[in-house]
Amino acid sequence: MRSIVLAHEVDHDGWRQAVRGLIAAQVPPEQVTWSVEAPDDLFAADAAPPTDASAPAFSLSRHLVDLSQTVLQAREPARFALLYGLVWRATHGERAIAGDLADPSVARARQLAQNVARDTHKMRAFLRFREIDDGEGVRHLAWFEPEHYIVEANAGFFIRRFAAMRFSILTPYRTLHWDGTAPSFGPGARAADIPGDDAMAEYWETYFRSIFNPARLKRSAMLSEMPRKYWRNMPETAAIAELIREAPRRAEAMVAAGASAPRPNPPRAAPRPAAADPSRASDLATLAAEAQGCRNCPLWQPATQTVFGEGPGDATVMLVGEQPGDQEDLAGRPFVGPAGQLLDRALIEAGIARDTLYVTNAVKHFKFTPRGKRRIHAKPEAPEITACAPWLARERSLVAPRTLVMMGATAARAILGRPVTISRERGRPIPLDDGSTGWVTVHPSYLLRLPDEAAKAREYAAFVTDLRRAVAEREDVLS
């Protein structure tokens, strides 16, 4: 038997090195035990077997590598053995094992990955900072109780979002500290280390009251999205009982007052021509700023703003949709409305983190038909797709993704330069001129329009499979 002792609960590097050594030595899974080092562990000296530097590197599907990185965060003692079993099988004739959803080990790994993804979403949505003076100025503290070991994996997200703040995120397992220059990690903490109240708590309660819509109150949905166990660390939840109690009266008052007139679009700057050559932009931020002034087609006139793509500038996967919708037009971000929420759910089920993808649209302005006070989506025509083509082309050039997923016929036409029938092109890799691989699938809004629940469930499952297959086609070397 080989006994592998990892340095800590999310010791991915240690697990990776151990796996390479075990595969090089041809040690089957049933002959390996896995554990995490404890301060008083008598067997802590049994380190991972050394990696044979002369052994040839072996490759795994990117999907299996990504799955492993997520599952290693799960609070499940058997996760190390589970993943090594999958790697063993992938290197012994079952290379595509990660895509076999009927396999019990794959199903278990995917369930753990989904649990981690949900926990990650809760942490990002429900973490609340409070201000203290630590002698060096203002520091923001937050307390969160994750179900899994997700602090290290989410450090980059919070640092990017709050780069200008000095902050600490405390959990029972791990603490993250950011001083504006470099992150550091420490041992777990206690909830008592966070001050009880401050101006930030008042801010959160005021904000929550302002966005609460009594006419749309659905208690079961609210509790499903925001379980009670998170409430004690969210100052705004102190107002929930009162808001629920007052909801019927406020909703009746809203109905009696009648619908309010729609807000006019904000005043526009004087029209200016689009950059003649978007390729001159040297980075995505500059390109997005230039696109705000695009006047290449008439769509800019009724739309609120240009909705540009977002995501890491070095993303290996790019998702391309059709155009922004009503909510995207108002928010200025792609895929935040109903179709975006469905896409987020499908990505979680596919084991894909959205913040690792670059997400954009073929057309950057919302095309719609006014119908009373509503704005009804209208399909972009060929001239509008062509007008936006330079922006999309430059996005692709700057991001340089290895995989490009075209969601819907408009996106496929914009990328492939020809009319596309989804059913004919779907489910197969398409070599693109820049060396990347394209995949065609449906647009999430198509799934929302299906009236039959059975058909909707079937098509949604196929959409998740499309996303998973496109990402799994990427290769990664375990080295």
Q: Please list the rounded mean pLDDT of every run of 10 residues in the chain (479 residues).
A: 91 90 93 80 42 59 85 95 95 86 90 89 81 79 90 89 86 89 88 62 47 53 57 56 64 57 49 51 84 89 92 92 93 91 90 90 94 87 92 93 95 93 91 91 94 89 92 54
d(CA 474, CA 106) in angstroms, rounded, equals 18
Dihedrals phi, psi of 409, to nearest 5 degrees: -65, -35
Pairing, β 374-377 against β 129-133: unpaired
4: DSSP letter: E
Burial label for 271, CB within 10 Å (0-12, 13-18, 19+), is: exposed
> Which region, left, alpha or beta, applies to residue 361 given φ > 0 means left and ψ of -120 to 50 means alpha?
beta
- Could you tell me which of 85, 200, 84 has the C-alpha nearest to residue 139? 200
402: DSSP letter: S
d(CA 116, CA 321) in angstroms, rounded, equals 27
Starting at the earlier edge strand, list the strands of the sheet with 138-143: 129-133, 138-143, 167-170, 174-178, 183-187
d(CA 430, CA 411) in angstroms, rounded, equals 14
Pairing, β 437-441 against β 430-431: antiparallel
What type of residue is 17? Q
Domains of the chain: 2-121 (no CATH), 127-193 (no CATH), 199-257 (no CATH), 278-478 (3.40.470.10)
Give the per-residue pLDDT at 467.
94
Dihedrals phi, psi of 7, to nearest 5 degrees: -70, -35
Which residue intervals of 294-449 are DSSP H helices?
Answer: 326-331, 338-349, 382-399, 409-416, 422-425, 444-449
Report pTM: 0.51
Dihedrals phi, psi of 439, to nearest 5 degrees: -135, 135
